[in-house]
Amino acid sequence: MENAILNNGENLDRNEYMIKASNLTKSFNNLLVFEDLNVKVKKGEVLVVIGASGSGKSTLLRCLNHLEELDSGTIIIEGEKLNPKDKKMLRKITTKMGMVFQNFNLFPHMTAIQNVMEAPLVVKKEKKSEVLQRAKQLLSKVGLVDKMDYYPSKLSGGQQQRVAIARALAMNPDIMLFDEPTSALDPELVGEVLNVMKDLAKEGMTMVVVTHEMGFAREVADRVIFMDGGKIVEEGTPEEVFSHPKEDRTKEFLNKVLK
């Protein structure tokens, strides 16, 4: 896994941006979600986006891999511009990004290992023996190789989310997007998922994480963005945002969530 990450990025300058999103505007039926947002993510950086529900943070994440279509703005992934009209190119670029959803969205008719193997087999047409080997490695990485033949319905929420992470990693993405990955979990299951994410961050994976887990943000993030009402209100290192917030809205929000 580590090799894959390094190899895929080797022609990139260390300082070059993996994600460069400029002037993003998005609305749902005339309801403006955000306007003129700019987000940049460097290689190996862990960007954590925090904010209240409805602040537009999930929508922002979903726009990055084109699950939602932008009204305007440009997104450049590893130097390639997303063109909504060019479906083939869009698929190629979005497969460089792995996505982990709040509700896991595992394929219920497939076992854990089938979930992990399906996309490399179908989308990349890789050899089955190679994919099987990689899938087993990934499942042992997230601590679930003994559960590989279980259907998702037989796994706990935390286990399902770990399979979902393995499934996303199976496509050898350069970037991982996490959309509130622990919000649907029972409190005692949050830790196991966060640990897997921490390991990924340590390995140098470029990550964008939308979360309510402030402890995780503080510990793992290189940079934190606080969003409110569709705007980036504050941005900085965890130390800057959590310990010395400049904006009143940030202080207010942190007061509420950190109690």
Stretch that binds other proteins, among 10-18, 78-86, 106-114, 234-242 (CB under 8 A): 106-114
Our finding on whether 98 is near other proteins (CB under 8 A) is yes
Our finding on whether 139 is near other proteins (CB under 8 A) is no
Among 46, 39, 36, 44, which residue's Cα sits nearest to residue 20? 39
Q: Which of 126, 136, 151, 204 binds other proteins (CB under 8 A)?
A: 151
Beta strands 80-81 and 72-77, pairing class: antiparallel
Q: Is the dihedral of CA 106, 110, 116, 120 positive or negative?
A: negative
Torsion of Cα atoms, 178 then 183 then 185 then 191, to 10°: 60
Q: Which residues contact residue 148 at a Cβ distance below 8 angstroms, ignoring those fewer than 6 apart?
A: 111, 112, 113, 135, 136, 139
Stretch that binds other proteins, among 1-9, 20-28, 52-60, 92-100 (CB under 8 A): 92-100
Our finding on whether 153 is near other proteins (CB under 8 A) is yes
Stretch that binds other proteins, among 5-13, 34-42, 114-122, 190-198 (CB under 8 A): 114-122
Query: Tokens in use for 169?
Result: 């990693």
Angle made by CA atoms 147, 209, 238, in degrees to the nearest 5: 125
Our finding on whether 94 is near other proteins (CB under 8 A) is yes
Stretch that binds other proteins, among 130-138, 147-155, 234-242, 244-252 (CB under 8 A): 147-155
- The answer to whether 21 touches 37, Cβ cutoff 8 Å, is yes
Our finding on whether 9 is near other proteins (CB under 8 A) is no
- The answer to whether 120 touches 170, Cβ cutoff 8 Å, is yes
Binding string to other proteins for residues 227 to 256, with x set by CB under 8 A, is what?
------------------------------
Binding string to other proteins for residues 17 to 56, with x set by CB under 8 A, is what?
----------------------------------------
- The answer to whether 12 touches 78, Cβ cutoff 8 Å, is yes
Binding footprint of other proteins on the chain (CB under 8 A) = 65, 67, 91-92, 94-95, 97-99, 101, 103, 105-110, 118-119, 122-124, 151-153, 167-168, 171
